[in-house]
Chains A and B, each alone.
Chain A
């Protein structure tokens, strides 16, 4: 096993972690697909309101490549297609039948998998609607199915607050995970790398033969981009594919059963949630179904996904296919008295400028921006946390003056979009947002 030790990075000292307890949720009345929150995809609708769909029926495809399909996470009737500003497709809501019917897709046994042609496997994944679960660095879009990657990374666990723990979603599904790794082995001529945290003893002992990389360090040591940055030896490694371990379970289930998988382990967490734990539920579960009776009163921000990179959602929204956490935080939209001049024993900070530097506990954090926007004062906090040794403040300046070549030389494409630079910035500069937009713009220009 290759040890990867991330010396930078930062563990957010935030209260509201979920307990390792896990329980099932009742079947929701609706589920939805949320195209709006799938990066880069340009959806073309293939259903109308009142259409009947099965689990696995085609809902929409990607205009950029119509072969890439997105399938229905539930069986029943399409009751609503939510459109946002400029007719962006926000969600496709399906009212579930009592007994859902499944669209039958191609299934593979272990021996089929060995014998099958690699192209057939790719085709089966695409038709099963799960190709987009595989992503390609550095832009994190789905990869072109016709290409093969130098490696595939499987990342086990997510250190961002808060996501399900791997020992919980892998519990009882170990064989499925092994099957998944076998699938990936058929997709690449190179190696399949599996990266797990050195602290996850359960995972490491269970999959000792599969795990190739063990990471140590704070968030975002788990990220495929970080693992790649610290192990790559040549520019050709940059276009590596990766997949999250829980997504790999979906992929494996799809090929093993021939049915579109719907099961998902998610967490409800954050200081405004009062039953913080893991829940077994479905892809596309309504947020209300998840948080009902489990949230505090008050002004809450619902975050679909992690606290650093997730999406702000209304309570009427749904968890999309990539989102495995619902984090509830205090909105923080009130004016704090003398905020900058308190001793700050309970004020979380990366710096040592508050007495909280002596406080070993975790802190309740809200979504206030905690200050006004200023010019960069070169405090050097962002390069100190950047997991891939970018100088975010200087890369940001390159982007502002539209020096594309220079920003690329600074390693813009190595950026793993972890959000730590924006978090620590005392000038409240939107570093992540700027870097990510510049990356996306470059990607679109290339395409």
Chain B
């Protein structure tokens, strides 16, 4: 630490007033403040302040996401090795997974950080830590086969259009990671939907015959007769497989198990709103049950899917735990948060079942409700202010 301190102390003059890199001060500050907190003392009352800062707030989200990153590496490697008939022991799988996932993560961070620094320098403010969460979430919801230039383009769109043009973290109304993902989805459908969920080796062994890379969502949407549960079972998607997430899907979003752990952790420490999460789940189950009631023997089998399956398949659990709970793009008010969650859950199921173009509904459901968050807030605030005894 002493060496590090000496290093920062020696470099500070370059970034200070009149230094060579004066304009890059936000960059220097953001790196330094990771190791050494500011010595700034309070100027206005109150004299003491809480130990929690945004840095820790965001770091805790990243902490909760790390298991997803590790699992994502393992899963991506595993599916790749499986598809190409190569050994499935731990080490080769992890090396393969690292090779697939790390470039996406690194591109996401480097490009995201690049934009953040540019905006911080131009606007002369410090770098906000929200970026580190967005840049971690983004690769986790990508297909493992995505070309790196598309990942760079996606995170650029997410950070710049989804966040920075509105003023940066705290002023955005859309979830930046999902904005970037949605952009890729619509701009480059070929690389972002369909058969993209298993990374093959470059030029190595050909696909083995028996392999299918259809995701549970694709199977569910394509089922024409018989129960969806049974079809999934036939294709090897047992309940436990769906729960633990070892199947071809976006990199880090498939494991419902890890989402429960991470989501619970974030709820317990108060970083994620339990109102949104339970709202999501209630909405999802409600719509699932409602569709069950509409289902008849002649209607499509997706309608009669056991509602709990909606929580298991695809990225819904991941979206619920980490995307809907982004406090900035969610409503501020507690009541509005229940409504917001409920509609996200319900819309997810609706989009999944009725729109064959979008197998995964939660991305669009969240972005859609992001747009409605200010309205929900507005309604609740109006109602709440009406109860006050006026004081003017």
A308-357 contacts to B, CB under 8 A, are 308-310, 312, 329, 331-341, 344, 347-354, 356
Q: Which of B51, B129, B381 contacts A354 (CB 8 A)?
A: B51
Stretch of B16-24, B101-109, B162-170, B304-312 with 4 or more beta carbons under 8 angstroms from chain A: B162-170
- Write out, one digit per residue, whether chain A residues 224-248 have a CB within 8 A of any chain B CB (1) or not (0): 0000000011110110000000000
Write out the residue numbers on chain B whose beta carbons fall within 8 Å of the beta carbon of A310: 45, 47
Write out the residue numbers on chain A whose beta carbons fall within 8 Å of the beta carbon of B334: 380
B253-278 contacts to A, CB under 8 A, are 268-271, 273
Once the chains bind, are B330 and A378 in contact (CB under 8 Å)? yes
Write out the residue numbers on chain A whose beta carbons fall within 8 Å of the beta carbon of B39: 333-335, 368
Tell me the dominant secondary structure on chain A's binding face.
Answer: loop
A301 to B48, CA, bound (A): 11
Q: Which of A366, A377, A420, A424 contacts B327 (CB 8 A)?
A: A377
State how many angstroms separate the Cβ of B330 from the closest Cβ of chain A. Answer: 7
B143-175 contacts to A, CB under 8 A, are 167-171
Residue A379 at the chain B interface, CB threshold 8 Å: yes
Write out the residue numbers on chain B whose beta carbons fall within 8 Å of the beta carbon of A194: none
User: Which of B37, B47, B170 counts the most A-chain CB atoms under 10 A from its CB?
Assistant: B47
State how many angstroms separate the Cβ of B95 from the closest Cβ of chain A. Answer: 29
Once the chains bind, are A340 and B41 in contact (CB under 8 Å)? no
Once the chains bind, are A353 and B35 in contact (CB under 8 Å)? no
Once the chains bind, are B51 and A372 in contact (CB under 8 Å)? no
B314-340 contacts to A, CB under 8 A, are 327-328, 330, 332-334
Once the chains bind, are B327 and A423 in contact (CB under 8 Å)? no
Once the chains bind, are B170 and A374 in contact (CB under 8 Å)? yes
Interface size bucket, A side? Answer: 35 or more
A356 to B51, CA, bound (A): 10
Once the chains bind, are A423 and B50 in contact (CB under 8 Å)? yes
State how many angstroms separate the Cβ of B136 from the closest Cβ of chain A. Answer: 16
Residue B293 at the chain A interface, CB threshold 8 Å: no
Residue A283 at the chain B interface, CB threshold 8 Å: no
Residue B240 at the chain A interface, CB threshold 8 Å: no
Once the chains bind, are A333 and B51 in contact (CB under 8 Å)? no
Write out the residue numbers on chain B whose beta carbons fall within 8 Å of the beta carbon of A423: 46, 48-50
Once the chains bind, are A354 and B52 in contact (CB under 8 Å)? yes
Write out the residue numbers on chain B whose beta carbons fall within 8 Å of the beta carbon of A72: none
Residue B214 at the chain A interface, CB threshold 8 Å: no
Once the chains bind, are B45 and A428 in contact (CB under 8 Å)? no
Q: Which of A333, A420, A426 contacts B54 (CB 8 A)?
A: A426
Write out the residue numbers on chain B whose beta carbons fall within 8 Å of the beta carbon of A371: 37-38, 49, 52-56
A159 to B365, CA, bound (A): 47
Write out the residue numbers on chain B whose beta carbons fall within 8 Å of the beta carbon of A424: 50, 52
Tell me how many residues of B have a C-beta within 8 Å of chain A. 55
Residue A286 at the chain B interface, CB threshold 8 Å: no
Write out the residue numbers on chain A whose beta carbons fall within 8 Å of the beta carbon of B327: 377-380
A419-436 contacts to B, CB under 8 A, are 419-420, 422-428, 430, 432-433
Residue A254 at the chain B interface, CB threshold 8 Å: no
Q: Which of B36, B45, B51, B330 contacts A348 (CB 8 A)?
A: B51
A371 to B1, CA, bound (A): 20
Once the chains bind, are B50 and A374 in contact (CB under 8 Å)? no
- Write out, one digit per residue, whether chain B residues 156-197 have a CB within 8 A of any chain A CB (1) or not (0): 000000000001111100000000000000000000000000
A370 with B328, Cβ < 8 A, contacts A235-B390, A375-B169, A422-B44 known: no
Residue B385 at the chain A interface, CB threshold 8 Å: yes
State how many angstroms separate the Cβ of A382 from the closest Cβ of chain B. Answer: 10
Write out the residue numbers on chain B whose beta carbons fall within 8 Å of the beta carbon of A379: 57, 271, 327
A377 with B170, Cβ < 8 A, contacts A366-B48, A423-B46 known: yes
Residue A12 at the chain B interface, CB threshold 8 Å: yes
Residue B225 at the chain A interface, CB threshold 8 Å: no
Once the chains bind, are B41 and A350 in contact (CB under 8 Å)? no
A360 to B145, CA, bound (A): 50
Once the chains bind, are B169 and A341 in contact (CB under 8 Å)? no
A372 with B38, Cβ < 8 A, contacts A238-B391, A344-B51, A391-B332 known: yes
A14 with B45, Cβ < 8 A, contacts A352-B268, A426-B53 known: no
Once the chains bind, are A422 and B271 in contact (CB under 8 Å)? no
A332 with B54, Cβ < 8 A, contacts A375-B168, A391-B332 known: no
Write out the residue numbers on chain B whose beta carbons fall within 8 Å of the beta carbon of A312: 47
Once the chains bind, are B49 and A369 in contact (CB under 8 Å)? yes
Closest to A422 in B: B46
A413 to B129, CA, bound (A): 34
- Write out, one digit per residue, whether chain A residues 181-207 have a CB within 8 A of any chain B CB (1) or not (0): 000000000000000000000000000
A54 to B58, CA, bound (A): 61
Once the chains bind, are B53 and A340 in contact (CB under 8 Å)? yes
Write out the residue numbers on chain A whose beta carbons fall within 8 Å of the beta carbon of B33: 372
A371 to B51, CA, bound (A): 8
A348 to B48, CA, bound (A): 10
B340-370 contacts to A, CB under 8 A, are none
Write out the residue numbers on chain B whose beta carbons fall within 8 Å of the beta carbon of A366: 48
Q: Which of A307, A352, A353, A414 contacts B47 (CB 8 A)?
A: A307
A408 to B59, CA, bound (A): 36
Write out the residue numbers on chain B whose beta carbons fall within 8 Å of the beta carbon of A232: 389
- Write out, one digit per residue, whether chain B residues 7-45 have a CB within 8 A of any chain A CB (1) or not (0): 000000000000000000000010001111111111011
Q: Which of A339, A341, A374, A422 contacts B49 (CB 8 A)?
A: A422
A354 to B56, CA, bound (A): 9
Residue B128 at the chain A interface, CB threshold 8 Å: yes
A183 to B40, CA, bound (A): 47
Write out the residue numbers on chain A whose beta carbons fall within 8 Å of the beta carbon of B34: 338, 340-341
State how many angstroms separate the Cβ of A381 from the closest Cβ of chain B. Answer: 8
Q: Which of A356, A375, A413 contacts B391 (CB 8 A)?
A: A413
Closest to A367 in B: B41
Write out the residue numbers on chain A whose beta carbons fall within 8 Å of the beta carbon of B45: 308-310, 419, 422, 432-433
A428 to B55, CA, bound (A): 11
State how many angstroms separate the Cβ of A392 from the closest Cβ of chain B. Answer: 11
Residue B60 at the chain A interface, CB threshold 8 Å: yes
A353 with B270, Cβ < 8 A, contacts A308-B46, A337-B36, A369-B40 known: yes
A353 with B128, Cβ < 8 A, contacts A332-B41, A368-B37 known: no
Name B residues whose Cβ lies closer than 8 Å to a Cβ of A. Answer: 1, 29, 33-42, 44-57, 59-60, 126, 128-130, 167-171, 268-271, 273, 327-328, 330, 332-334, 381, 385, 388-392
Top 4 A-B pairs, shortest CB-CB distance: A371-B53, A375-B170, A339-B37, A419-B46
27 A-B pairs whose Cβ atoms sit less than 8 Å apart in the complex:
A232-B389, A235-B390, A301-B41, A303-B47, A310-B45, A329-B48, A333-B41, A337-B35, A338-B37, A340-B56, A353-B269, A370-B53, A371-B52, A372-B38, A373-B126, A378-B328, A378-B330, A380-B273, A380-B327, A383-B332, A408-B391, A411-B385, A413-B392, A423-B49, A426-B57, A427-B54, A433-B45
Name A residues whose Cβ lies closer than 8 Å to a Cβ of B. Answer: 12, 14, 138, 232-235, 237-238, 301, 303, 307-310, 312, 329, 331-341, 344, 347-354, 356, 365-380, 383, 389, 391, 393-394, 408-411, 413-414, 419-420, 422-428, 430, 432-433
Q: What 20 additional pairs, Cβ within 8 angstroms, besides A383-B332, A426-B53, A426-B54?
A: A234-B389, A235-B391, A335-B39, A337-B36, A338-B34, A338-B37, A340-B55, A341-B59, A352-B268, A367-B47, A370-B49, A371-B56, A374-B129, A376-B170, A377-B57, A394-B381, A411-B391, A414-B388, A423-B50, A432-B46
